[in-house]
Structure 1
């Protein structure tokens, strides 16, 4: 017996038990419910074989009975079996419900791990395809306490580029020096102090020029008070 190979993992122990007790254990497919207390039967039957210890047998049984295929076999009406495949009683409803909850929890853990892996994958793909971030501009410096904030200088308009909506400059009025050039109906300005009033020429005579103001008032004005 000293020359027997040693089984190093629980999977190897399960494969050995499926070969040693094919009516009880299975290496693949649906597993049959085991007899309660089958661990003690295993210790008595395989003691000394393959250098198996109690710790190895207990770990292998724990892995076997927590697998999905074993939990699927724990259902209402199923029969427990011993090492030789003999029937050892029907499963209790309590054991069936416990196995159902174990299976749901195992599936939930697997689903959570799968979603976490997918999230990490999407995050990694997003980082690889993301454009490099532009460096942020430094924030404007705040004025220290007691320090006056600088006011922006007003922009002076350029003389060479006048605004499009600016009103055109009016030509400077010229004084009338020769009344012979004036004609009735001509628009003219009448100087009154510093102001000049719009008027229309009605008649040109030797005594002066008779005009009508915009207000409708008619009057005779000398040439020195007239402007073009």
Structure 2
């Protein structure tokens, strides 16, 4: 039976990129922003490879460029680099702004994560710690129910003002099918936000774009707009 060296895990694909392009991809220290269009360069270099596919590379790039270390590098460097580590184009102000916003959102999500279970010791009703609990745990005290206070709380929740819709400046026009071409500069809709991007591949109904941070995203033609 013929064996294959095809990589399956996304982390293994990243290790492949670290080894294949050591002057460009870094695991931790020395990370620098990638040149716009780096996916195309990688695809040309690994043409015919039996280890990784273009789809896997695209997924690996998405993970690499969404990492907080990479986003920080976009805000701290002046130029991007190519596969050989050579200086490429200068990072534009809007790219830095986008990276800063992505960093803030990532940190906000991390701050909202609940504390791991099992960290807080349980206590019995009489205040004595359960087995394995801490002896200096404060006794459990049942608070009396205040019906009026409860009603006020529910009222505050129900009276929470609705979030204002996202406002966009200027007129935004949907990109016509005839303009959905490789290398076209577009805006792609991600949630309620329009982000500048470049079309890297068109495969029937699927369109692959590269964001200003270098992240690879798969989308549909009806999510693309004129810049």
TM-score, normalization by structure 2: 0.50
CA distance in 1, matches of 2:125, 2:42: 59
Greater gyration radius: 1
SS of match in other structure, 2:75: coil
Residue 30 of structure 1 and its aligned partner are, at CA, apart by 3.8
CA distance in 2, matches of 1:18, 1:80: 17
Displacement over 6 Å in runs of 4+:
none
Greater RCO structure (CA 8 Å; 6+ sep): 2
1:22-171 → structure 2 map (5 Å cutoff): 22-75=22-75, 77-113=77-113, 116-117=114-115, 121-122=119-120, 125-126=121-122, 128-131=123-126
CA RMSD of aligned residues (A): 2.4
- Is the contact between residue 76 and residue 93 of structure 1 (CA under 8 Å) also seen in structure 2? no
Q: Aligned residue for 1:19?
A: 19
1:3/1:82 CA distance change after superposition, 3 Å: farther
1:107/1:30 CA distance change after superposition, 3 Å: farther
TM-score, normalization by structure 1: 0.50
Residue 121 of structure 1 and its aligned partner are, at CA, apart by 4.0
Number of residue pairs matched? 127
Gaps of 5+ in 2: 128-139, 141-227
1:130/1:29 CA distance change after superposition, 3 Å: farther
Gaps of 5+ in 1: 134-228
1:30/1:67 CA distance change after superposition, 3 Å: farther
CA distance in 2, matches of 1:74, 1:110: 20
